[in-house]
Amino acid sequence: RIQEEEWNKYVVPSKNESEKYKVSRTFSFLMNRMTSTRNKCKTKNKDTKDKEKLNRHSFTNGTFSGVIPCMACEKALLGKESLQCSYCKVIVHKSCKECAPVCTKCLIEKGCKGVKMSNMSNRASTMVLSSVHPSSSVPIRPSAGRSEVSQQSHFLSKSVPSASFERRSTPFSEQDSETSTWRSKSRSEEMLQTLGTFSSMDPFMMEDDVDLSQWTDLRTDAQEFEAESWSLLVDPVFCSKQEKDVTKRQDVIFELMQTEVHHVHTLFIMSEIFRKGMKEELQLDHSTVDRIFPCLDELLEMHRQFFCRMKERRQESCEAGSERNFVISRIGDILVQQFSEENATKMKKIYGEFCSHQKEAVNLFKELQQNKKFQNFIKLRNSNLLARRRGIPECILLVTQRITKYPVLVERILQHSKEGTEEHKDLCKALCLIKDMIAAVDLKVNEYEKKQKLLEILSRTENKTYTKLKNGHVFRKQDLMRKERILLHEGLVYWKTATGRLKDTLALLLTDVLLFLQEKDQKYIFAAVDQKPSVISLQRLIVREVANEERGMFLISASSAGPEMYEVHTNSKEERNNWMRHIQDAVESCPEEEEGKKSESDEDRRIAEAKASRIQKCQESLSNQDQQICSSLEEKLRIYAELGHMSGFEDVHVEHHLLIKPDSGETPQAASLLAAALREVESLRVAVTTSQVSETGRSAEESIEELSVKHRFRANEILESVPGHCFFGKLSHSVAESIESDIIKVVFGQTLHGGSMSFPGSTRTEIVQAIQNLTRLLYSMQAALAIQDSHRELHRLLLQENEKTGRGHGSLLHLLLEQEKFRNLEKQRVELANIHKLKQQFQQEQQRWLRECEQRQREHEAREGWLGRREQECGCQEELLERSRLGLALQLQEYQQSLERLQEGQKMVERERDNVKMQKQLLWHWKRCQQSLLSSTGSYEVCG
């Protein structure tokens, strides 16, 4: 419950009695009446100006392209109907101008002026002012009186647009009035007190109340699906390449994923904003919070996993080299997985419980809203940026409507899928599974509503009311509260009396009876009309129409106590037919009852149940004693085992438990234990005889025959001393003890304790092992006899009671036998359920193992394919390298040949050069000679 603080100050004091009826007619009153119209107009204009002044926007006609939502009503905007603020760029309808949030730019300017004028030494105001910017962070220090709240920092994400901040803002006057009345010690109130005049920024500071990592992931997913459709998300060129049906199919799949992430967002709002605040700030009882948000964690986890699977499929379907372009070819397998087997059972259970408690959750929320503290909390939470202006009733309604959206989306996907494909088959199967799930949820909601309706009617029914049946038995209110009785149908009908009057009654159709109640002093009592019983058994009930009366029907009870006929009327023919159909279905499905059980009165049944309860207590006491006997015998076995180990027989294997279970629910049979004991005695006799033969050295056949005759004689003496009926599992404890002592005397008296004979080590161990086994068998037989005696005494008592009471109380034995049978069946059912559970776990493990094997096989095949391709690529590269090498070798050879030719040519050139040089020298010498000859010839001529 909410802790009420200073509740009296929220109560408006009432006026005195003298002031309530005081009539004053003054001049000011007359003036007000005369000038009321003018004052109203002035007040209206003043309010409009105050709103405009408070909003502080400067609106102009907006010009933009495309469809943009209004920041006030979130409806689509058209160009001619829109206004845009020149300061903060907020876009609203012309009619939503007064509802627009406060202009954030003006708030910043006002905050800056306030900071400049104040000249405060503390820097808190500067920090708060910086929080207006989305990228800033504001550390908020908790108050000293609240030690459990640690110091935290409040962050505003960069990705949130400024328009969203403006849209969620509220006027200063509203926030100031709210903060003045909110006196709780929650963190929200501390924020309001710390920020002072900047209280309109409080909705932005509440993002720290949620898990930032989860909110970041959810916001990232929401940003991926911000587009209106798949066609607008992918590249236009890529979209134009797809067929028309493919485009429409992708649009519907995108809408399915988009609505799913919005649904996860709604669940996140309910969990992190509202529920968390109720538990931590209001400190509401967890059971109360769970009544408002039933199964919320399971819903969030289930839909988050569903969305993650679809998101992974989207990432797998992306085009190579582009994360924006994708075509999802398979979605049916994910839908089949979500709505089949364990997931389907889980969804039916969770949604059935959530939808069943929807009305109860909303009523509880409205009841809590009567508290002022809770009202302020809801107002503060609704102003949160993340809440998207959704309240708790709206969120609950959205969750209950979610499962009804799946069939529509799947049918639209199915329309644009090719028939005959695996995807088409999966979608058809998924559609059937979804419809089955919705039908199951509707059935569960209907059953819960009928159960609540029956409880409501029973709460209004008088405790002492009763009606007398035809056979003389009394039917009381307590008989309606039996667990096996379920309300099938109810409604107001008219019971026609013998005088022709129609009496208003409330008819209740249960699984085995139809009864009529009437209202008296706002309480229900059994209807009394014409001294007829107001409770009709559905056994042998016949429903017929009334001739010439389309709204009437006859109810004819043909019971063995005496026939009876009722005439009942309804408001319309359809309602009459509906009642007849429900009654006929209930009669067909009514459980059969035995005649003896129907003729048994309530008092007789109570007496029989009391006797059965006493006998049941005696049976439980005997069972406890039998368990103590079994425990004592097992303790003796343990002590014998310890004595054997202390005597040096460590190789002997000893079991510390008996061969029967005292709580198995079945009577143990001692005959099988006796036969096993005799076989153990025979094996022990053979071991002892063999040891005696080897010790004395006599012929084996003679010794064995002599000892066999002796032991057989003593065994016959023992068995003759046992009564004949003992072999059928009814031995007494004294007989069992005499058998045990006689066998010990026959087998062990002359051997182990005589001291005249020694055994080898192996034979000694074998004999001790046989003794331990025989002791265990005898103790098990003793416990079985004790349990048999208990069962025999109980059955004898039941037979005596049956003979005493005669046929009138003959159901006592049947009742106890039925209880015993039910208990045994319940144990078998539990064991069978455990076996089924283990089988399911094994099948799940097997399926998981097979999936892992298939995945590994696929990975192995993919790796083999990759290695094959890599090998081919390496072979091709090797061939290219070989060709390159050969080409280079040829080029090298040609180069060498060219080099050799070049060298030879160079040598020839050098030889030619030498020859030319020599020729030049010879020519020069020849010219010198010629010149010298010419000069000598000339001189000779001159001289001559």
In tens, the pLDDT along 543-569 reads 999 888 889 999 988 877 778 889 999
**Higher pLDDT, residue 482 or 493:** 493
- C-alpha pair distances (Å), 942 with each of 493, 938, 939: 179, 6, 5
Question: Which pLDDT score, from 0 to 100, does residue 163 have?
Answer: 34
In tens, the pLDDT along 109-163 reads 444 444 344 443 333 333 332 333 333 333 333 333 333 333 333 333 333 333 3
Once rounded to an integer, what is the mean pLDDT over residues 597-613?
A: 63
Question: Which pLDDT score, from 0 to 100, does residue 206 have?
Answer: 44
Residues in Cβ contact with 568 at an 8 Å cutoff, skipping those fewer than 6 apart? 493, 494, 495, 496, 507, 552, 553, 554, 555, 579
Going 420 to 425 to 431 to 435, the CA torsion angle's sign is positive
Most confident of 823-832, 860-869, 933-942: 860-869
869/874 Cα distance (integer angstroms): 9
Most confident of 29-33, 113-117, 265-269: 265-269
Beta carbons of 230 and 254 less than 8 angstroms apart: yes
* pLDDT, averaged across the chain: 73
Question: Which pLDDT score, from 0 to 100, does residue 86 have?
Answer: 72
Strand 535-537 versus strand 513-520 pairing type: antiparallel
Quick check: 615 pLDDT over 50? yes
In tens, the pLDDT along 452-474 reads 999 999 999 988 888 888 777 88
Q: pLDDT class for 32, splitting at 50, 70, 90?
A: low
Once rounded to an integer, what is the mean pLDDT over residues 778-785?
A: 81
382/395 Cα distance (integer angstroms): 12
Question: Which pLDDT score, from 0 to 100, does residue 563 have?
Answer: 83
The domain defined by 35-93 carries CATH number 3.30.60.20: yes
Quick check: 537 pLDDT over 70? yes
Once rounded to an integer, what is the mean pLDDT over residues 365-379?
A: 90
Beta carbons of 315 and 324 less than 8 angstroms apart: no
Quick check: 589 pLDDT over 50? yes
Domain map of the chain by residue range? 35-93, 210-451, 470-599, 609-805
Question: Which pLDDT score, from 0 to 100, does residue 222 have?
Answer: 76
Going 255 to 257 to 258 to 264, the CA torsion angle's sign is positive
Helix axes 733-748, 700-720, angle to 10 degrees: 160
Q: Is 506 helix (H, G, I), strand (E, B) or coil?
A: strand
Angle subtended at Cα 428 by Cα 427 and Cα 430, rounded to the nearest 5 degrees = 60
Report the CATH fold assignment for 210-451. Answer: Dbl Homology Domain; Chain A (1.20.900)
Once rounded to an integer, what is the mean pLDDT over residues 702-729?
A: 45
The answer to which of 444-458, 524-538, 741-755, 904-918 has the lowest mean pLDDT is: 741-755
Tokens of 817: 């036998």
Determine phi and psi for 392, rounding to 5 degrees.
-65, -45
Q: pLDDT class for 704, splitting at 50, 70, 90?
A: very low
Quick check: 211 pLDDT over 50? yes
Question: Which pLDDT score, from 0 to 100, does residue 758 have?
Answer: 52
132/128 Cα distance (integer angstroms): 7
Determine phi and psi for 553, rounding to 5 degrees.
-150, 150
Once rounded to an integer, what is the mean pLDDT over residues 197-214?
A: 45
In tens, the pLDDT along 43-61 reads 555 555 444 444 567 777 7
Q: Considering only CA atoms, which of 625, 630, 620 is closest in space to residue 794?
A: 620
The answer to which of 398-412, 450-464, 739-753, 795-809 has the lowest mean pLDDT is: 739-753
Q: Considering only CA atoms, which of 165, 168, 166, 193 is closest in space to residue 179?
A: 193
pLDDT > 70 fraction of the chain, expressed in percent and rounded: 66
Q: Which region holds residue 758: left if phi is over 0, alpha if psi is between -120 and 50, else beta? A: beta
Residues in Cβ contact with 875 at an 8 Å cutoff, skipping those fewer than 6 apart? none
CATH topology match: 210-451 vs 470-599: no
Determine phi and psi for 572, rounding to 5 degrees.
-150, 170
Quick check: 400 pLDDT over 80? yes
Once rounded to an integer, what is the mean pLDDT over residues 306-312?
A: 93
625/612 Cα distance (integer angstroms): 20
Quick check: 839 pLDDT over 50? yes
Question: Which pLDDT score, from 0 to 100, does residue 20 have?
Answer: 39
The answer to which of 192-196, 583-587, 642-646, 940-944 has the lowest mean pLDDT is: 192-196
Strand 564-569 versus strand 489-496 pairing type: antiparallel
pLDDT > 90 fraction of the chain, expressed in percent and rounded: 29
Residue 909 CB neighbour total at 10 angstroms = 10
Q: pLDDT class for 823, splitting at 50, 70, 90?
A: low
Q: pLDDT class for 892, splitting at 50, 70, 90?
A: very high
Beta carbons of 146 and 190 less than 8 angstroms apart: yes
The domain defined by 470-599 carries CATH number 1.10.1040.50: no
638/659 Cα distance (integer angstroms): 14
Question: Which pLDDT score, from 0 to 100, does residue 626 have?
Answer: 80
Residues in Cβ contact with 309 at an 8 Å cutoff, skipping those fewer than 6 apart? 334, 337, 338
Tokens of 703: 């010794």
**Higher pLDDT, residue 682 or 431:** 431
Quick check: 3 pLDDT over 60? no
Question: Which pLDDT score, from 0 to 100, does residue 45 have?
Answer: 54
Quick check: 260 pLDDT over 90? yes
Q: pLDDT class for 590, splitting at 50, 70, 90?
A: confident
Read off the pTM.
0.47
The answer to which of 97-101, 223-227, 243-247 has the lowest mean pLDDT is: 97-101
Once rounded to an integer, what is the mean pLDDT over residues 200-207?
A: 38
**Higher pLDDT, residue 901 or 716:** 901
Residue 457 CB neighbour total at 10 angstroms = 16
Q: pLDDT class for 713, splitting at 50, 70, 90?
A: very low
Once rounded to an integer, what is the mean pLDDT over residues 826-853?
A: 84
The answer to which of 80-94, 234-248, 684-698, 894-908 has the lowest mean pLDDT is: 684-698
Quick check: 804 pLDDT over 90? no
Q: Residue 248 is inside which H or E element, if any?
A: helix 244-268
